[in-house]
Structure 1
Amino acid sequence: MKRVLVLNQDYSPISVCSAERAFLLLYLQKAELVHDDPENKIRSINTAYPMPSVIRLQQYISIPYKSVLLSRQNVFKRDSNQCLYCGNGKDLTLDHVLPKSRGGQSTWTNLATACKKCNSIKGDKTPEEAKMPLAQKPFRPTYVMFVRNFSGFTSKDWLKYLGVN
Structure 2
Amino acid sequence: MRTGRSREGGPPRRHVLLLNASYEPLTTVPLRRAVLLVLREKADVVHGDSAGTVLKSASAALSVPSVIRLRRYVRIPYHRRVPLSRAALMRRDSQRCAYCGKRAETIDHVIPRSRGGTHAWENVVASCKPCNHRKADRLLDELGWELTVTPTVPSGPHWRLINSDHHGDPQWAPYVSRSVL
Identify whether the pair has TM-score above 0.5, normalized to the shorter chain.
Answer: yes
Structure 1 residue 100, shift from structure 2 partner: 3.5
Structure 1 residue 7, shift from structure 2 partner: 0.7
Q: Deviations over 1:71-124 (max 9, x none)?
A: 34432343344432232344x2x3222334554322101101223421232241
Structure 1 residue 164, shift from structure 2 partner: 4.0
Residue in structure 1 matched with residue 75 of structure 2 by the alignment: 62
Structure 1 residue 16, shift from structure 2 partner: 0.4
Structure 1 residue 25, shift from structure 2 partner: 0.8
Moved segments of 4+, more than 4 Å: 45-48
Residue in structure 1 matched with residue 127 of structure 2 by the alignment: 114
Secondary structure (helix, strand or coil) at the match of 2:64 reads strand
2:98 to 84, 105, 110: 84
Q: Deviations over 1:45-85 (max 9, x none)?
A: 56642221111101111222254322344323433444322
2:110 to 87, 91, 97: 97
Structure 1 residue 147, shift from structure 2 partner: 4.3
Task: Determine if contact 1:41/1:48 at 8 Å carries over to the other structure.
Answer: no
Please say if 1:15 is aligned against 2:27: yes
Q: How does 1:124-139 map to 2 (within 5 A)?
A: 124-126=138-140, 129-139=142-152
Q: Tell me the number of residue pairs that the alignment of Structure 1 and Structure 2 aligns.
A: 161
1:44 to 33, 49, 56: 56
| Residue segments in structure 1 that go unaligned for 5+ positions in a row | none
Task: Determine if contact 1:67/1:143 at 8 Å carries over to the other structure.
Answer: no
One-letter identity of the residue aligned with 1:130: L
One-letter identity of the residue aligned with 1:43: L
Please say if 1:5 is aligned against 2:20: no
Q: 1:120 to 1:132 in 2, by over 3 A?
A: same
- Matched residues in 1 for 2:113 and 2:123: separation? 10
Structure 2 length as normaliser, TM-score?
0.73
Secondary structure (helix, strand or coil) at the match of 1:17 reads strand
For structure 1, which segment, 117-126 or 130-139, has the greater mean C-alpha deviation from structure 2 after superposition? 130-139
Please say if 1:27 is aligned against 2:35: no
Secondary structure (helix, strand or coil) at the match of 1:11 reads coil
1:145 to 145, 150, 158: 158
| Residue segments in structure 2 that go unaligned for 5+ positions in a row | 1-12
Structure 1 length as normaliser, TM-score?
0.79
